[in-house]
Amino acid sequence: MPETARVALAHDYLLVLRGAERTFAAIADEWPQAPIHTLLWDPAVCGPRLAGHPVVVSRLNRTGARQSWFRWLLPAFPLAASAMPLPADADVAIISSSAFAHGMPSAPGTATLCYCHTPFRYAWFEGERALASVPAPARPALAATLAAVRRWDVRAAARVDRYVANGRITQERIARIYGREAPIVHPPVEVERFAPGTPEGHVLVVCELVRHKRVDVTLEAARRAGVPVRVVGTGADEPRLRALHGDHATFLGRVDDAQLAREYASAAALVMANVEEFGIAAVEAQAAGRPVVAADAGGARETVRDGETGVLVPPDDVDALAEALRETDLHRFDAARIAAHARRFSATAFRRRMREEVEALARAGGDAPR
């Protein structure tokens, strides 16, 4: 791709700095002056990390939506994305999406690449969980909204020239839902932020505290195993989790990067009960030399070497997870070997692979119907 090529960037919403947002930030680092389009934007949180990029927001940003309640805008997101055209003079648009950004229209001469974290989970494969999260009288309206989102999503996907998946499970979903092939580029992990320390006797959870993360499985398994657990993260499920497990789990809320590095280094292991598309936390823990006890599915199969950098257990099996925590000598793992494995997922490797994908698309000139 010529150095003079004009690149535009897009992401669903930029309200927090977690895995998907950090992945997008690594893409933005590779094209440091490119404009960013996003539906919602919190400059206090994301502005410092994306400094130097002009940011264009949708009309929905006028609502002042923040991470704690932006999901209530769900019915408006497809229309807002469709009404937010990417720059007409862009040669290439790089879209990072797990929901709506891939529906932002581009000009006929713009080649579009979507780095897909997953097709929108609540529309396609976690609809029952979404419906269970609202009062019964609201469920018919939400079901109708999700059906409309699915129809819109398929139309939006057809206009994308090239998809790139963050792992095998997302690759399979893209093929099944959109009928498209997608190469895999694993997300970037800022492995240099982490270093091995002195592990203690507790295990660690690092994630957003929402039901699909299955934190309750981890906390119940840790209780049965008699292992203390520390929890980093906040979310809608936090009050329930505190009420059920506050006697044996320590909830730390959100922590800064320095404290997070210390939490990883001092834990006996990270526990990841959810089936993740990739699972950046699992790689961060390994960069700190700590093993991962994870569900044997999804991204963990790509990032954790069973018996060498962690332990894989059947998904949603509290007894198996409790047994692994109780019976495994988590201190026997070689910290240096685990950290070396994690370096395969560095931000440098990610940026190189993304540039290769973008350059391949630019040479092809786009290959999807518009």
- Residue-wise pLDDT tens digits, 194-252: 999 999 999 999 999 988 899 999 999 999 999 999 999 999 899 999 999 999 999 99
Same domain? For 212 and 338 the reply is yes
Amino acid at 251: F
Q: Is the pLDDT of residue 1 over 70?
A: no
Assigned domain for 109 exists = yes
Same domain? For 40 and 146 the reply is yes
Distance of alpha carbon 50 from alpha carbon 54, whole angstroms: 9
Distance of alpha carbon 343 from alpha carbon 288, whole angstroms: 11
Same domain? For 276 and 336 the reply is yes
Assigned domain for 369 exists = no
β partners of residue 114: 95, 163
Q: Is the pLDDT of residue 353 over 80?
A: yes
Total of domains in the chain: 2
328 pLDDT band, cuts 50/70/90, is very high
pLDDT of residue 362: 83
Q: Which residue has the higher pLDDT, 366 or 152?
A: 152
Assigned domain for 240 exists = yes
Rg of the chain, C-alpha, whole Å:
21
Looking at every residue in the chain, the average pLDDT score rounds to 95
Assigned domain for 1 exists = no
Same domain? For 268 and 326 the reply is yes
pTM for the model stands at: 0.85
Mean of the pLDDT values across residues 274-295? 96
H or E segment at 59? none
- Would you state the torsion angle of the CA atoms of residues 217, 221, 224, 227, taken in this order, to the nearest 10 degrees? -130
Same domain? For 240 and 101 the reply is no
- pLDDT digits 0-9 by tens, 57-86: 999 999 999 998 999 999 999 999 999 999
Do 277 and 299 contact (CB within 8 A), yes or no?
yes
Do 312 and 296 contact (CB within 8 A), yes or no?
yes
pLDDT of residue 367: 54
- Would you state the torsion angle of the CA atoms of residues 281, 29, 3, 350, taken in this order, to the nearest 10 degrees? -10
> Can you read off the two tokens belonging to residue 261?
């590095």
Distance of alpha carbon 90 from alpha carbon 20, whole angstroms: 23
364 pLDDT band, cuts 50/70/90, is confident
Assigned domain for 2 exists = no
3 pLDDT band, cuts 50/70/90, is low
Same domain? For 299 and 351 the reply is no
Q: Is the pLDDT of residue 370 over 70?
A: no
User: In residues, how long is the chain?
Assistant: 370
**Starting from the edge strand earliest in sequence, which strands make up the sheet with 229-232, in order?**
249-253, 229-232, 203-206, 269-272, 292-295, 310-313
Amino acid at 83: A
Same domain? For 16 and 99 the reply is yes
> Can you read off the two tokens belonging to residue 250?
């320590």
> Can you read off the two tokens belonging to residue 121?
């989970």
Same domain? For 295 and 328 the reply is yes
368 pLDDT band, cuts 50/70/90, is low
Same domain? For 20 and 168 the reply is yes
Of 152, 143, 43, 48, nearest in space to 102 by CA: 152
pLDDT of residue 246: 94
Domain of 20 in residue numbering reads as: 7-188+347-364
Q: Is 112 exposed, middle or buried (0-12, 13-18, 19+ CB in 10 A)?
A: buried
Q: Is 216 exposed, middle or buried (0-12, 13-18, 19+ CB in 10 A)?
A: middle
Same domain? For 196 and 72 the reply is no
Assigned domain for 370 exists = no
pLDDT of residue 2: 63
Q: Is the pLDDT of residue 48 over 90?
A: yes
- Compute φ and ψ for 253, nearest 5 degrees: 70, -160
Same domain? For 106 and 142 the reply is yes
Of 346, 215, 328, 209, nearest in space to 269 by CA: 328
The CATH number assigned to the domain holding 74 equals 3.40.50.2000
Q: Chain centroid to CA 273: how far?
A: 15
Same domain? For 84 and 141 the reply is yes
Q: Is the pLDDT of residue 122 over 90?
A: yes
